Amino acid sequence: MSKPRPPEPAKLVISLFMKEKNLLQPVAEELSERFGSADMVSAWLPFDYTSYYEPEMGAPLFRRVLTFTSLIRQRDLADIKIETNEIEIKYSENNNRQVNIDPGYMLRERFVLATGKNFTHRIYIGKHIYADLTLVYTKGAFRELPWTYPDYADKRMLAYLELVRKRYVTDLKKMKEAQ
């Protein structure tokens, strides 16, 4: 029989993409007000894997990824997605989003994104939100899955997420030492 154990806290990772780079600062400030200070910020990453968002947001689109100092409870991902949806609405113009905000979390063994869209590989986590297992960490590296979005399988994104994972492991160690 397996013995239930509490889940480890997770590293909050929030990806934003937008056409107007000047939106980054106010949106990042609002995210920091809600989720604590950001501790890692990616370089600008191209977002040219799909034209799906162009009718709504325009082109070219650019991505920035933020992580946060405080670790989160995994069960809070649905609430975080709802809050980031509220921020998207706040920055919308004429019912078109100006920024897309994708929250997720990092664990040692996986990277998970939150979404409002159901699909075969997504697990319902409450409040009309699903968890998308986006990447798994095995044999010393992140591995994509058949459904991983191409931008999350890009070598630049994977390199950044490697750094995030290292920071997360350090954060966990510090947290356990402090207990």
- The tens digit of pLDDT for each residue in 25-43 reads 999 999 999 999 999 999 9
Please report whether residue 1 resides in a domain. Answer: no
- pLDDT for 22: 97
Residue 122, domain extent? 10-178
Q: What is the mean pLDDT of residues 168-176?
A: 95
Please report whether residue 68 resides in a domain. Answer: yes
| Cβ-based neighbour number of residue 25 at 10 Å | 9
Please report whether residue 114 resides in a domain. Answer: yes
Between strands 122-126 and 110-115, the pairing is: unpaired
pLDDT tens string 85-141:
999 999 999 999 999 999 999 999 999 999 999 999 999 999 999 999 999 999 999
Please report whether residue 115 resides in a domain. Answer: yes
Rounded Cα gap, residues 78 and 151, in angstroms: 22
Q: Is the pLDDT of residue 162 over 90?
A: yes
Please report whether residue 4 resides in a domain. Answer: no
Please report whether residue 159 resides in a domain. Answer: yes
Q: What is the mean pLDDT of residues 148-153?
A: 95
- pLDDT for 179: 85
**Quick one: pLDDT band at residue 46, thresholds 50, 70, 90?**
confident
Number of domains in the chain: 1
Rounded Cα gap, residues 71 and 105, in angstroms: 9
Q: Is the pLDDT of residue 48 over 90?
A: no
Please report whether residue 3 resides in a domain. Answer: no
Check: CB of residue 161 under 8 Å from CB of residue 142: yes
Please report whether residue 89 resides in a domain. Answer: yes
